Amino acid sequence: MRGHELRYDRAHGARIYDYILGGKDHYPLDREAGDAALEGWPSLRTSMRANRAFMHRVSRYLATERGVTQFLDVGTGIPTSPNLHEVVQEVRPEARVVYVDNDPIVLAHARALLTSTPDGATAYIHADLREPEEIIESEELRETLDLSKPIGFTLIAMLHFIEDEDEAHRVVRQMLEILPSGSYFALSTATADFAPEGMRNVQREYRARGEAMNLRKKSRVERFFDGLELVEPGVVQVHKWHPDALREMRVADEDVAMYGGLARLL
């Protein structure tokens, strides 16, 4: 199994994300990487916040508008309230959520992800997306979710950490294969389309510290949804996906470097 050993000798994407968003679960090398990335592109914090808000909106949309009560969130990251189960159980108390991450720090804080309503359930799997069999074959997945009924599969800010395009498509396909018809797939991933110089600076700082950063154009992001039914407005910058008018109206396009989309499995 990859990624299950707590390492202090290098920065980690989830902990950099936590640091930039004002969290407390990170180490000096993560802070150093975060500061360097922010120096290279000061809008990175705005972009990360927009991405977090996208996760909230897409999960709430699935629970309220599409009636989804089962969720699989891969690449959960360090728990920061409100987490996905808190969002969906607010409207669907019976919702069941399985979280997946490979960072031991997330494992150490997994109790924060297991605060389900009495009517619902949450579970945590310590596994790596690059080895989807770990997730697919886990007891936690099959004991928590009914794989014969629709599931909302969320992959938020994860795929840009997989450099190889073939590998990224392989793991997505393997995960989608276990989901029944009527399920939904939500994705967000980094791009340099709107702030090319700034995001190249961020990419350089991440790579210098051993962390991958694949910046995809819109057409490459759309390929992950091939064969699925995209929900309007399709693949867009995350702050433009079913925006909250009071919040997203103040976000400039050039300050958001993430594409997002949602699609239904036919």
Domains of the chain in sequence order: 13-264 (3.40.50.150)
Location of structure tokens 């997306």 = 129
Quick one: which H or E segment has residue 143? helix 139-144
Dist CA 72 CA 99 (whole Å): 6
Q: State the pairing for strand pair 229-230/184-190.
A: unpaired
Dist CA 142 CA 197 (whole Å): 44
Location of structure tokens 């019976």 = 94
pLDDT for the residue 244: 84
pTM, two decimal places? 0.92
pLDDT for the residue 4: 46
Q: How many helices (H) and strands (E) would you count in the chain? A: 11, 8
Dist CA 89 CA 118 (whole Å): 10
The one-character DSSP state at 223 is: G
pLDDT for the residue 1: 35
Q: Which amino acid is at 221?
A: V
Q: Which amino acid is at 265?
A: L
pLDDT for the residue 224: 98
pLDDT for the residue 186: 98
Picking from 58, 70, 56, the residue whose alpha carbon sits closest to that of residue 180 is 70
- Please list the pLDDT of the chain residue by residue as tens digits (266 residues): 344 455 566 777 778 888 888 887 788 888 998 899 999 999 999 999 999 999 999 999 999 999 999 999 999 888 777 889 999 999 999 999 999 998 888 887 777 778 899 999 999 999 999 999 999 999 999 999 999 999 999 999 999 999 999 999 999 999 999 999 999 999 999 999 999 999 999 999 989 888 889 999 999 999 999 999 999 999 999 999 999 866 666 889 999 999 999 999 99
